[in-house]
A and B are shown apart, each in its own frame.
Chain A
Amino acid sequence: MDAQARSVLYRIIRRIPNRNIENLLKRWNCLSADQMRALDYTRPKWMIVEHVISFCEESRLGLKHVTNLEMIYRIENPDQGIWNACQLAEAQDDAVCVELTQFKEQFKAHLHGVIRHISIKMKKHEDEAIWIRIAWGDNFSKPNHLKPTYVVHHLHTSYVFISNLMAKHKIFLCQALVIATKHGSIKDGLLSTKSLNAMRDLLLRRYQQVFPNAHSRILQERNTLPSFPCIGKEHRDHEEIRHQMACEAFGHGAMPKLETAVYRLETRYKGNSNYTLSDKEEFFRGVVRFSSSSLLESLRHCVASGMAEGPVTPLLSAITQRGRNYFVITDKGPGVSSQASAQRA
């Protein structure tokens, strides 16, 4: 085993609690039963790593196997690092019949064609997701396995989730994805979060949505009745309207756990009292950042409980409707700034 394989292995083991190491190694399925038995998981991490490395050398396992271990670990713990979403557009006619093997071949062929040193590994997870691990090198240097890019794609959907991608490699990856999935173009989805699952649920609409409908009242099942007959609510109608509104904007039931939403303002100051700011031609720049352990649920609660009055602004409902959490708000004309930005988005 070379130094890079050792350091990759050490990095993986370092991140896992000792009690989970055994499970991971079992799933890796590269060590023999005797070797597994010989490992003592109560020892310090560096000793375990030394042991595993010596076993790997015994069984002649190399970098390839270690990266495989890393993939297994990463697939099981997807909520690490920042994930970005990209959206594929302009699907070709045969985009719906792309198969896994075809995708794999095209993707690899394209990347190997443009970069001489690159290591690509693909795995299909149980939930139909394709996980791709790419270690980038260039014409003169070996692939760097310490900073791999992870890409997750569900075939026949128009979203790709990417983690840890450097700007200079973006163009290569995007080209390969566009070609392999038979689409015309790819653009930044403007959604980034720590949790891959939240992102997937939000974009692939895997949460319970409520559609505006005057006739069916889904919320009837919600328990609005007070627990005792002698308790009466004066504003019950109002409360139901609010709940309906909140659920239409942010869904019903458990929501994807999005953590932040960022609004970048590039607007002019419009107050009439403070003329020193309003007469300037330049933009009044600022960033508004909402953060919460579960942002969508917080927003829904704000609307449902009446803390935020009135209909939900398109700026907030755009998080779910457009599946993004980064917005740029610009002036388009007096009084239409919020609307304009939602459309611009």
Chain B
Amino acid sequence: MSLLRPYSKVPELITATVLLVENEEEFQSKLADAIVQHEKEFNVNVRLARKLPLPVENKETRPRIDLIVFIISLLSQRSLQSVEGSLAHLHSDCFLGKVCFLVTDARCGSHTQERLVRVRKLAASHQCPVLCAEHRTADGVIAASVRILNILKVSAGMSPIATTALYLSSLTRCSATSDLEED
């Protein structure tokens, strides 16, 4: 089983790469367009995938990945299960500030609350942040892309201030509150 490692490749000059993983492939292309259009300061490469592990044949052409975003639609159980399966294919170094979860559809449906709790527990156990996004409106997509770019900037080392991914993740990671743990 080939793990995805964050430091196995040399970074490219003024370039950051984000990997969007979404089982439904619904939101990721919109988000990718928004990310690329919004960022003007440095080059952003976006890779889209359904799940991990990534296909071996693309291994050579794939750049170093600075941030992995798991997009979870709370409307579908499968979406969450697929992400849980994918997490096993990440090297533990990734969890030092190079993974985040993006949750959509948190406001609709009847099972979304319990799934949100599961996502938060998952994120807390992996020390990753959870972002909520609205994917049905253009504004929501732009807002989500800005937030991802902010994290990407730090995790790819583009931030001028001496902030490291490790430091940021300790600030932004999802902490399971006590009432979550009791459930």
Contacts and interface: CB of A to CB of B under 8 A. Distances in A.
Interface of A: 226-228, 230-235, 237-239, 305-307
Interface residues of B, number: 24
Given A239-B25, A305-B25, A307-B24, A233 B48 contact: yes
Contact of A305 (B26, B36, B58): B26
Contacts of B55: 234-235, 237
Contacts of A237: 55
5 A-B pairs with the lowest CB-CB distances in the bound complex, closest first: A234-B49, A231-B46, A228-B36, A233-B48, A231-B32
Interface in B16-55: 19, 23-26, 29, 32-33, 36, 43-50, 54-55
Contact of B43 (A226, A230, A239, A306): A230
B78 interface: yes
B158 to A, nearest CB: 15
Nearest to A230: B45
Contacts of B76: 307
B24 to A, nearest CB: 6
A235 B50 contact: yes
Interface of B: 19, 23-26, 29, 32-33, 36, 43-50, 54-55, 58, 61-62, 76, 78
B46 A232 contact: yes
Nearest to B50: A235
A306 B36 contact: no
B48 A306 contact: no
Majority SS of interface residues in chain B?
mixed
Contacts of A238: 50
12 contacts: A226-B29, A230-B44, A230-B46, A232-B48, A232-B58, A232-B62, A233-B47, A233-B48, A234-B48, A234-B49, A235-B50, A307-B24
A184 to B, nearest CB: 49
Contacts of B48: 226, 231-235
Nearest to B43: A230
B44 to A, nearest CB: 6
Given A231-B32, A234-B55, A306-B50, 10 more contacts: A226-B29, A227-B33, A228-B32, A230-B36, A230-B43, A231-B48, A232-B61, A234-B54, A305-B24, A307-B24
A12 to B, nearest CB: 42
B49 A231 contact: no
A228 B58 CA distance: 18
B7 to A, nearest CB: 20
Contacts of A226: 29, 32, 48
A235 B28 CA distance: 13
B120 to A, nearest CB: 25
B52 to A, nearest CB: 9
A234 B25 contact: no
A228 B36 CA distance: 8
Given A226-B29, A228-B33, A305-B24, A234 B43 contact: no
B47 A234 contact: yes
B11 to A, nearest CB: 15
Contacts of B36: 228, 230-231
Nearest to B53: A234
B40 to A, nearest CB: 13
Nearest to A228: B36
